[in-house]
Amino acid sequence: QKEVEQDPGPLSVPEGAIVSLNCTYSNSAFQYFMWYRQYSRKGPELLMYTYSSGNKEDGRFTAQVDKSSKYISLFIRDSQPSDSATYLCAMGRGSNYQLIWGAGTKLIIKP
């Protein structure tokens, strides 16, 4: 079993829809959680960073962490074609800088 599970998709939704992206993990030692967005042939860019259970909102993006269920989500409201990309979840623990990555979900927003 992988430490982090993420459905690779692709996930295709119409413009304006609410998108839900998810990751599950098995190691309860993970303390901080991140969502990255990666456009084709580019390096990943950080979208959201959280280190506690609950919700964190930034514009159209909301990151949700449920440590008891070992489940994290990223919600995108009012999705736009420019949101089409691969979204990767990542998580880490303590002072160890190494992150454990999900496989990435390819998201397609149809105009």
Partner 1 sequence: GAVVSQHPSWVICKSGTSVKIECRSLDFQATTMFWYRQFPKQSLMLMATSNEGSKATYEQGVEKDKFLINHASLTLSTLTVTSAHPEDSSFYICSAPQGKKGGTEAFFGQGTRLTVV
**Cα separations (Å) of 63 from 41, 42, 49, 96?**
25, 23, 8, 22
Q: What SS3 class is residue 63?
A: strand
Q: Which is nearer to partner 1, 15 or 56 (CB)?
A: 56
Q: Residue type for 92, please?
A: G
> Is residue 93 within the footprint of partner 1 (CB under 8 A)?
yes
Of 22, 24, 49, 61, the one binding partner 1 (CB under 8 A) is 49
**Residue 52-81 contact track with partner 1, rule CB under 8 A, x = bound:** x-----------------------------
44 is an interface residue for partner 1 by CB under 8 A: yes
Exactly one of 14, 59, 94, 111 binds partner 1 (CB under 8 A); that residue is 94
Cβ-based neighbour number of residue 61 at 10 Å: 17
103, amino acid identity = A
- For 8, list phi and psi in degrees, rounded to 5: -75, -15
What residues form DSSP beta bridges with 110?
Answer: 14
Judged by the rule CB under 8 A, the positions of this chain that interact with partner 1 are: 6, 8, 31-32, 34, 36, 41-46, 49, 51-52, 88, 90, 92-95, 97-99, 101-104, 106
